[in-house]
Copies of this chain bind each other. A is one copy, B any other.
Protein backbone atom coordinates (compact mmCIF):
# COMPACT_ATOMS: atom_id res chain seq x y z
CA UNK A 1 0.00 0.00 0.00
CA UNK A 2 1.00 3.61 -0.41
CA UNK A 3 1.30 6.07 2.45
CA UNK A 4 -2.13 6.27 3.98
CA UNK A 5 -1.55 9.75 5.40
CA UNK A 6 -4.70 11.73 4.73
CA UNK A 7 -4.03 15.35 3.91
CA UNK A 8 -5.81 17.67 6.30
CA UNK A 9 -6.60 21.32 6.21
CA UNK A 10 -3.63 22.09 8.41
CA UNK A 11 -1.21 20.31 6.15
CA UNK A 12 -2.66 22.27 3.29
CA UNK A 13 -2.21 25.49 5.24
CA UNK A 14 1.40 24.68 5.96
CA UNK A 15 2.17 24.02 2.31
CA UNK A 16 0.38 27.16 1.21
CA UNK A 17 2.05 29.27 3.85
CA UNK A 18 -1.18 30.50 5.36
CA UNK A 19 -3.25 29.68 8.40
CA UNK A 20 -5.81 26.91 8.34
CA UNK A 21 -8.60 29.44 8.80
CA UNK A 22 -7.70 31.05 5.51
CA UNK A 23 -7.70 27.69 3.82
CA UNK A 24 -11.11 26.91 5.24
CA UNK A 25 -12.49 30.17 3.95
CA UNK A 26 -10.80 29.83 0.60
CA UNK A 27 -12.35 26.42 0.02
CA UNK A 28 -15.79 27.59 1.05
CA UNK A 29 -15.57 30.63 -1.22
CA UNK A 30 -15.86 32.98 1.67
CA UNK A 31 -15.88 36.56 0.22
CA UNK A 32 -13.31 37.92 2.61
CA UNK A 33 -10.41 35.99 1.16
CA UNK A 34 -8.35 37.47 -1.67
CA UNK A 35 -9.28 36.01 -5.05
CA UNK A 36 -5.76 35.03 -6.01
CA UNK A 37 -5.04 33.47 -2.62
CA UNK A 38 -8.22 31.45 -2.91
CA UNK A 39 -7.31 30.29 -6.41
CA UNK A 40 -3.84 29.28 -5.31
CA UNK A 41 -5.17 27.30 -2.37
CA UNK A 42 -7.83 25.59 -4.42
CA UNK A 43 -5.23 24.62 -6.96
CA UNK A 44 -3.02 23.18 -4.27
CA UNK A 45 -5.92 21.34 -2.73
CA UNK A 46 -6.61 19.65 -6.04
CA UNK A 47 -2.98 18.68 -6.48
CA UNK A 48 -2.78 17.11 -3.07
CA UNK A 49 -6.12 15.33 -3.47
CA UNK A 50 -7.40 17.11 -0.44
CA UNK A 51 -10.77 15.84 0.75
CA UNK A 52 -12.39 17.76 3.58
CA UNK A 53 -13.47 15.57 6.46
CA UNK A 54 -17.23 15.44 6.43
CA UNK A 55 -17.00 14.11 9.96
CA UNK A 56 -15.27 17.16 11.35
CA UNK A 57 -17.53 19.42 9.38
CA UNK A 58 -20.59 17.67 10.73
CA UNK A 59 -19.32 17.95 14.25
CA UNK A 60 -18.77 21.64 13.87
CA UNK A 61 -21.79 22.65 11.84
CA UNK A 62 -24.25 20.15 13.18
CA UNK A 63 -25.36 19.22 9.69
CA UNK A 64 -24.29 16.01 8.08
CA UNK A 65 -26.08 16.02 4.72
CA UNK A 66 -27.05 12.45 5.39
CA UNK A 67 -30.50 10.91 5.38
CA UNK A 68 -31.25 7.88 7.49
CA UNK A 69 -33.64 5.40 5.94
CA UNK A 70 -35.20 2.36 7.53
CA UNK A 71 -37.22 -0.10 5.53
CA UNK A 72 -38.63 -3.50 6.16
CA UNK A 73 -36.48 -5.39 3.69
CA UNK A 74 -34.07 -4.00 1.14
CA UNK A 75 -34.46 -7.02 -1.09
CA UNK A 76 -38.21 -6.57 -1.32
CA UNK A 77 -38.88 -5.42 -4.90
CA UNK A 78 -41.21 -2.74 -3.61
CA UNK A 79 -38.67 -1.14 -1.33
CA UNK A 80 -35.71 -1.53 -3.60
CA UNK A 81 -37.56 0.46 -6.20
CA UNK A 82 -38.43 3.11 -3.63
CA UNK A 83 -34.85 3.26 -2.43
CA UNK A 84 -33.66 3.77 -5.97
CA UNK A 85 -35.75 6.91 -6.37
CA UNK A 86 -34.85 8.12 -2.94
CA UNK A 87 -31.12 7.74 -3.32
CA UNK A 88 -31.24 9.35 -6.72
CA UNK A 89 -32.86 12.53 -5.39
CA UNK A 90 -30.52 12.60 -2.42
CA UNK A 91 -27.51 12.34 -4.68
CA UNK A 92 -28.60 15.31 -6.74
CA UNK A 93 -28.68 17.46 -3.61
CA UNK A 94 -25.35 16.21 -2.35
CA UNK A 95 -26.81 13.99 0.35
CA UNK A 96 -25.82 10.45 1.22
CA UNK A 97 -28.13 7.83 2.65
CA UNK A 98 -27.81 5.25 5.35
CA UNK A 99 -30.07 2.40 4.37
CA UNK A 100 -31.01 -0.29 6.82
CA UNK A 101 -33.60 -2.99 7.15
CA UNK A 102 -35.43 -4.07 10.26
CA UNK A 103 -36.68 -7.33 8.83
CA UNK A 104 -40.03 -7.34 10.62
CA UNK A 105 -38.36 -6.96 14.01
CA UNK A 106 -39.59 -3.95 16.04
CA UNK A 107 -36.70 -4.31 18.44
CA UNK A 108 -34.30 -4.01 15.58
CA UNK A 109 -36.19 -1.06 14.21
CA UNK A 110 -35.74 0.83 17.47
CA UNK A 111 -32.09 -0.12 17.48
CA UNK A 112 -31.55 1.17 13.99
CA UNK A 113 -33.21 4.44 14.86
CA UNK A 114 -30.86 4.86 17.78
CA UNK A 115 -27.86 4.10 15.65
CA UNK A 116 -28.85 6.48 12.90
CA UNK A 117 -29.59 9.25 15.35
CA UNK A 118 -26.22 8.70 16.97
CA UNK A 119 -24.67 9.06 13.56
CA UNK A 120 -26.29 12.43 13.37
CA UNK A 121 -28.40 12.02 10.27
CA UNK A 122 -30.21 15.20 9.27
CA UNK A 123 -33.53 13.44 8.90
CA UNK A 124 -35.01 10.04 9.49
CA UNK A 125 -37.28 8.30 6.99
CA UNK A 126 -39.27 5.39 8.31
CA UNK A 127 -40.99 3.13 5.84
CA UNK A 128 -43.76 0.85 7.02
CA UNK A 129 -42.87 1.54 10.58
CA UNK A 130 -44.84 -0.38 13.13
CA UNK A 131 -44.14 2.24 15.74
CA UNK A 132 -46.89 3.87 17.64
CA UNK A 133 -45.80 7.47 18.19
CA UNK A 134 -45.82 6.76 21.89
CA UNK A 135 -42.94 4.35 21.64
CA UNK A 136 -40.90 7.01 19.97
CA UNK A 137 -40.65 8.73 23.30
CA UNK A 138 -38.20 6.06 24.30
CA UNK A 139 -35.76 7.96 22.17
CA UNK A 140 -36.23 11.23 23.97
CA UNK A 141 -36.81 14.50 22.16
CA UNK A 142 -35.98 13.84 18.55
CA UNK A 143 -33.42 16.35 17.33
CA UNK A 144 -34.24 15.85 13.66
CA UNK A 145 -37.34 15.66 11.50
CA UNK A 146 -38.81 12.19 11.24
CA UNK A 147 -40.94 11.24 8.25
CA UNK A 148 -43.27 8.32 8.23
CA UNK A 149 -44.02 6.69 4.92
CA UNK A 150 -46.75 4.09 4.81
CA UNK A 151 -46.93 4.16 8.54
CA UNK A 152 -48.58 1.06 9.96
CA UNK A 153 -49.33 2.33 13.40
CA UNK A 154 -52.71 3.95 13.69
CA UNK A 155 -51.59 7.27 15.08
CA UNK A 156 -51.90 10.46 13.17
CA UNK A 157 -48.41 11.73 12.61
CA UNK A 158 -47.04 15.13 11.71
CA UNK A 159 -44.92 14.35 8.66
CA UNK A 160 -46.12 11.44 6.65
CA UNK A 161 -46.80 10.05 3.25
CA UNK A 162 -49.66 7.67 2.71
CA UNK A 163 -51.05 5.84 -0.21
CA UNK A 164 -54.73 5.69 -0.91
CA UNK A 165 -55.03 2.04 0.01
CA UNK A 166 -58.71 2.04 0.70
CA UNK A 167 -59.74 3.32 -2.69
CA UNK A 168 -57.20 0.97 -4.18
CA UNK A 169 -58.75 -2.23 -2.96
CA UNK A 170 -62.15 -0.69 -3.58
CA UNK A 171 -61.23 -0.35 -7.24
CA UNK A 172 -59.90 -3.89 -7.34
CA UNK A 173 -63.04 -5.25 -5.75
CA UNK A 174 -65.30 -3.33 -8.11
CA UNK A 175 -63.32 -4.75 -10.98
CA UNK A 176 -63.94 -8.27 -9.72
CA UNK A 177 -67.61 -7.56 -9.07
CA UNK A 178 -67.96 -6.23 -12.60
CA UNK A 179 -66.50 -9.47 -13.91
CA UNK A 180 -69.32 -11.28 -12.13
CA UNK A 181 -67.58 -12.47 -8.99
CA UNK A 182 -69.67 -12.62 -5.86
CA UNK A 183 -67.54 -14.83 -3.63
CA UNK A 184 -64.52 -12.60 -3.03
CA UNK A 185 -61.92 -13.17 -0.33
CA UNK A 186 -59.34 -10.84 1.16
CA UNK A 187 -55.89 -12.02 2.22
CA UNK A 188 -54.77 -9.88 5.14
CA UNK A 189 -51.52 -9.25 6.91
CA UNK A 190 -51.24 -9.56 10.67
CA UNK A 191 -48.36 -7.14 10.74
CA UNK A 192 -49.93 -4.81 8.24
CA UNK A 193 -51.44 -2.52 10.86
CA UNK A 194 -53.11 0.50 9.36
CA UNK A 195 -52.27 -0.63 5.84
CA UNK A 196 -54.07 -3.89 6.39
CA UNK A 197 -57.10 -2.19 7.91
CA UNK A 198 -57.43 0.28 5.07
CA UNK A 199 -57.03 -2.28 2.35
CA UNK A 200 -59.49 -4.60 3.99
CA UNK A 201 -61.94 -1.74 4.40
CA UNK A 202 -61.76 -0.94 0.70
CA UNK A 203 -62.93 -4.46 -0.06
CA UNK A 204 -65.77 -4.14 2.43
CA UNK A 205 -66.75 -0.77 0.95
CA UNK A 206 -67.12 -2.10 -2.55
CA UNK A 207 -69.04 -5.17 -1.42
CA UNK A 208 -71.44 -3.02 0.55
CA UNK A 209 -72.19 -0.95 -2.50
CA UNK A 210 -73.93 -4.04 -3.81
CA UNK A 211 -75.40 -4.93 -0.45
CA UNK A 212 -72.87 -7.71 0.04
CA UNK A 213 -70.68 -8.48 3.04
CA UNK A 214 -67.25 -9.99 3.52
CA UNK A 215 -68.04 -13.33 5.19
CA UNK A 216 -65.71 -14.29 8.07
CA UNK A 217 -64.56 -17.37 6.19
CA UNK A 218 -63.29 -15.16 3.39
CA UNK A 219 -61.70 -12.63 5.71
CA UNK A 220 -58.29 -14.23 5.86
CA UNK A 221 -55.10 -13.38 7.68
CA UNK A 222 -51.53 -14.27 6.79
CA UNK A 223 -48.52 -13.65 9.02
CA UNK A 224 -46.89 -10.98 6.85
CA UNK A 225 -46.53 -9.54 3.37
CA UNK A 226 -43.95 -11.93 2.05
CA UNK A 227 -44.19 -14.75 -0.45
CA UNK A 228 -44.41 -17.49 2.11
CA UNK A 229 -47.58 -15.90 3.42
CA UNK A 230 -49.13 -16.60 0.06
CA UNK A 231 -48.66 -20.30 0.72
CA UNK A 232 -50.41 -19.93 4.05
CA UNK A 233 -53.34 -18.29 2.34
CA UNK A 234 -53.49 -21.05 -0.25
CA UNK A 235 -53.80 -23.63 2.48
CA UNK A 236 -56.64 -21.78 4.15
CA UNK A 237 -58.33 -21.28 0.81
CA UNK A 238 -58.15 -24.91 -0.24
CA UNK A 239 -59.57 -26.04 3.07
CA UNK A 240 -62.77 -24.07 2.59
CA UNK A 241 -66.00 -25.92 1.84
CA UNK A 242 -67.21 -23.23 -0.50
CA UNK A 243 -64.19 -21.75 -2.18
CA UNK A 244 -64.19 -18.09 -3.27
CA UNK A 245 -63.93 -17.38 -6.97
CA UNK A 246 -61.53 -14.52 -6.43
CA UNK A 247 -59.10 -13.22 -3.86
CA UNK A 248 -57.44 -9.89 -3.29
CA UNK A 249 -54.10 -10.10 -1.54
CA UNK A 250 -52.49 -7.64 0.82
CA UNK A 251 -49.72 -7.11 -1.70
CA UNK A 252 -48.08 -8.52 -4.79
CA UNK A 253 -45.52 -10.63 -2.96
CA UNK A 254 -48.29 -12.42 -1.14
CA UNK A 255 -50.21 -12.83 -4.39
CA UNK A 256 -47.11 -14.26 -6.00
CA UNK A 257 -46.70 -16.88 -3.31
CA UNK A 258 -50.39 -17.63 -3.44
CA UNK A 259 -50.46 -18.12 -7.20
CA UNK A 260 -47.53 -20.45 -7.04
CA UNK A 261 -49.10 -22.54 -4.30
CA UNK A 262 -52.48 -22.69 -6.00
CA UNK A 263 -50.95 -23.63 -9.32
CA UNK A 264 -48.92 -26.43 -7.84
CA UNK A 265 -52.14 -27.63 -6.21
CA UNK A 266 -53.53 -27.98 -9.72
CA UNK A 267 -55.70 -24.88 -9.92
CA UNK A 268 -55.63 -22.72 -13.00
CA UNK A 269 -55.48 -18.95 -12.70
CA UNK A 270 -57.64 -17.16 -13.67
CA UNK A 271 -59.88 -19.99 -14.98
CA UNK A 272 -60.52 -21.59 -11.60
CA UNK A 273 -59.85 -18.61 -9.40
CA UNK A 274 -58.94 -14.97 -9.95
CA UNK A 275 -56.09 -13.43 -7.97
CA UNK A 276 -55.28 -9.77 -7.47
CA UNK A 277 -52.35 -8.13 -5.74
CA UNK A 278 -51.43 -4.68 -4.55
CA UNK A 279 -48.40 -2.45 -5.31
CA UNK A 280 -47.60 -3.33 -8.91
CA UNK A 281 -44.02 -4.31 -8.26
CA UNK A 282 -41.95 -4.34 -11.45
CA UNK A 283 -42.24 -8.05 -11.95
CA UNK A 284 -46.02 -8.12 -11.65
CA UNK A 285 -46.32 -7.69 -15.39
CA UNK A 286 -44.02 -10.62 -16.07
CA UNK A 287 -45.58 -13.27 -13.89
CA UNK A 288 -47.61 -16.11 -15.26
CA UNK A 289 -50.31 -15.13 -15.44
CA UNK A 290 -49.48 -11.45 -15.34
CA UNK A 291 -50.92 -9.99 -12.18
CA UNK A 292 -53.92 -7.72 -11.88
CA UNK A 293 -53.01 -5.26 -9.16
CA UNK A 294 -53.20 -1.71 -7.93
CA UNK A 295 -50.30 0.41 -9.00
CA UNK A 296 -48.30 2.41 -6.48
CA UNK A 297 -45.67 4.68 -8.00
CA UNK A 298 -42.66 3.29 -6.18
CA UNK A 299 -39.75 5.17 -7.66
CA UNK A 300 -41.76 8.37 -7.42
CA UNK A 301 -42.65 7.60 -3.83
CA UNK A 302 -38.96 7.37 -3.04
CA UNK A 303 -38.24 10.62 -4.81
CA UNK A 304 -41.06 12.35 -3.02
CA UNK A 305 -40.02 11.05 0.38
CA UNK A 306 -36.50 12.32 -0.18
CA UNK A 307 -37.81 15.68 -1.30
CA UNK A 308 -40.10 15.97 1.68
CA UNK A 309 -37.13 15.35 3.96
CA UNK A 310 -34.92 17.78 2.08
CA UNK A 311 -37.63 20.39 2.19
CA UNK A 312 -37.72 20.14 5.97
CA UNK A 313 -34.00 20.76 5.91
CA UNK A 314 -34.38 23.95 3.98
CA UNK A 315 -33.25 22.62 0.62
CA UNK A 316 -34.91 23.65 -2.61
CA UNK A 317 -36.87 20.81 -4.17
CA UNK A 318 -38.86 20.69 -7.40
CA UNK A 319 -42.01 18.92 -6.26
CA UNK A 320 -44.40 21.31 -4.48
CA UNK A 321 -46.09 18.43 -2.68
CA UNK A 322 -42.92 18.01 -0.62
CA UNK A 323 -44.07 20.93 1.50
CA UNK A 324 -47.29 19.26 2.60
CA UNK A 325 -47.50 17.91 6.11
CA UNK A 326 -49.39 14.86 4.99
CA UNK A 327 -49.14 13.60 1.46
CA UNK A 328 -51.46 11.02 0.00
CA UNK A 329 -50.52 9.40 -3.27
CA UNK A 330 -53.03 8.00 -5.69
CA UNK A 331 -52.47 4.78 -7.57
CA UNK A 332 -54.32 3.18 -10.43
CA UNK A 333 -55.91 -0.11 -11.28
CA UNK A 334 -53.81 -2.40 -13.46
CA UNK A 335 -55.95 -5.07 -15.07
CA UNK A 336 -53.92 -7.99 -16.33
CA UNK A 337 -54.42 -11.70 -16.85
CA UNK A 338 -54.78 -13.06 -13.35
CA UNK A 339 -58.40 -11.97 -13.16
CA UNK A 340 -61.28 -13.14 -15.35
CA UNK A 341 -64.95 -13.93 -14.99
CA UNK A 342 -65.71 -16.67 -12.44
CA UNK A 343 -66.04 -20.27 -13.61
CA UNK A 344 -69.50 -21.30 -14.89
CA UNK A 345 -70.14 -24.26 -12.60
23 A-B pairs within 8 Å (CB atoms) are namely A2-B142, A49-B138, A53-B59, A55-B58, A55-B59, A55-B64, A55-B119, A66-B119, A74-B80, A74-B87, A75-B83, A75-B299, A76-B80, A79-B80, A87-B99, A88-B103, A91-B108, A91-B112, A97-B100, A283-B283, A283-B286, A286-B288, A288-B288
Chain A, residues 206-246, CB within 8 Å of chain B (1/0): the string is: 00000000000000000000000000000000000000000
Contact B143 A115 (CB under 8 A): no
**Taking the complex as formed, is A260 at the interface, i.e. its CB lies under 8 A from any CB of chain B?**
yes
Query: What's the minimum C-beta distance from A115 to chain B, rounded to whole angstroms?
Result: 6
Other A-B pairs, 6, CB within 8 Å; known A5-B143, A55-B120, A98-B99: A5-B141, A54-B120, A76-B80, A87-B99, A88-B103, A97-B98
Docked-complex contact A96 and B100, CB < 8 angstroms:
yes
A283 CB contacts on chain B under 8 angstroms: 77, 283, 286-287
Q: A3: which B residues are within 8 A, CB to CB?
A: 141
**B-contact 0/1 string along A106-141, CB 8 Å cutoff:** 001000101111111000000000000000001111
| A118 CB → nearest B CB, Å | 5
Could you tell me if A96 and B116 are in contact, using CB atoms closer than 8 angstroms?
yes
Interface flag for A176 (CB, 8 Å):
no
Residues on B with beta carbons closer than 8 Å to the beta carbon of A140: 7, 48-49, 51
Q: Does A194 contact B (CB under 8 A)?
A: no
Residues 59-96 (chain A) with a chain B CB within 8 angstroms: 59, 64, 66, 73-77, 79-81, 83-84, 87-88, 91, 94, 96
Alpha-carbon distance A97/B116, docked complex (angstroms): 10
Contact of A286 among B81, B96, B138, B287 (CB under 8 A): B287
Question: A1: which B residues are within 8 A, CB to CB?
Answer: 141-142
A289 within 8 A of B: yes
Give the docked Cα–Cα distance between A4 and B120 (Å): 13
Q: A19 contacts the other chain (Cβ, under 8 Å)? A: no
B-contact 0/1 string along A165-203, CB 8 Å cutoff: 000000000000000000000000000000000000000
Chain B residues positioned under 8 Å from A73 (CB to CB) = 84
Asked if B75 contacts A120 (CB within 8 A), the reply is no
Closest approach, in angstroms, between the C-beta of A102 and any C-beta of chain B? 9
Which chain B residue lies CB-closest to A100?
B87
Q: Does A56 contact B (CB under 8 A)?
A: yes
Asked whether any CB of chain B lies closer than 8 Å to the CB of A256, the reply is yes
- What is the CA–CA distance of A299 and B74 in the complex, to the nearest angstrom? 11
Residues of B within 8 A of A96 (CB): 98, 100, 115-116, 119
